[in-house]
Structure 1
Amino acid sequence: MTKILLVEDNEMNRDMLSRRLERKGYLVVLAVDGESGVEMARTQAPDLVLMDMSLPVMDGWEATRRLKADAATRGIPVIALTAHAMSSDRGKAMEAGCDDYDTKPVELPRLLGKIEALLGRAAALAPSGAEPRA
């Protein structure tokens, strides 16, 4: 089963999105701040991370930079989730190391398309002879 780490501090957003993803067949693990998100990415080895950018303790920008700087987690695709819809925010997310960007409120069909595209790309990039992350 494909595991998604959802890093989101807003309880309502976290509950709503995790339930919707679970109904689509994903296993969802949760973190409530950037620091715990980085730690959970290391210990849970998710197939993909959905990262809120406005987080307590450590924001999503820094958490993503740390994930991408760590050999153990750099290959995990990260989708930035933010209420900020300015084109500069998309650029900032990509600069931090995010693989894609989506805005809140989440439109599930659009987000699912991005998730599937990144999971397919990650499987295609898996070393020959290695099992793709599933």
Structure 2
Amino acid sequence: MDLVERRYRITRADLVRYAGASGDFNPIHWSDRVATGVGLPGVIAHGLFTMALVSRAVTDWVGHPGSVIDYSVRFARPVVVPDTDEGTELVVTGVLKGTTEEGHAILDLTATCEGEKVLSQARATVRVA
């Protein structure tokens, strides 16, 4: 069974909360002036915040965070978060690609924002009931 599509709204307020929790106050995550000054299209979400949202989709699918055995991604492009009440939306899907010798499920994951893939080589191995 594949991972059902999950959608996560990301706003600037979310970035502020994540910065406080993680201690990552890099201004590319809150200042348009700094972000565009270093060549980004605007303020971007923290990569690990994006990765955590994809992980949430996996744990929701499998039913328990302790069921995740392995999880890895590569960052393909930034998630730009506009300074609006709506922010942006991250869409996560997953396809069951097979099982390990131990019978654990292998999920290939896709995360997109504005129709563009933001992660590549995203994969999770999970214990299933």
Q: TM-score range by the shorter chain?
A: under 0.3
Q: Which has the larger radius of gyration?
A: 2
Q: Looking at secondary structure, tell me which structure has more strand per residue.
A: 2
TM-score when normalising by structure 1? 0.26
Does 1 or 2 have the higher relative contact order (CA < 8 Å, sep 6+)? 2
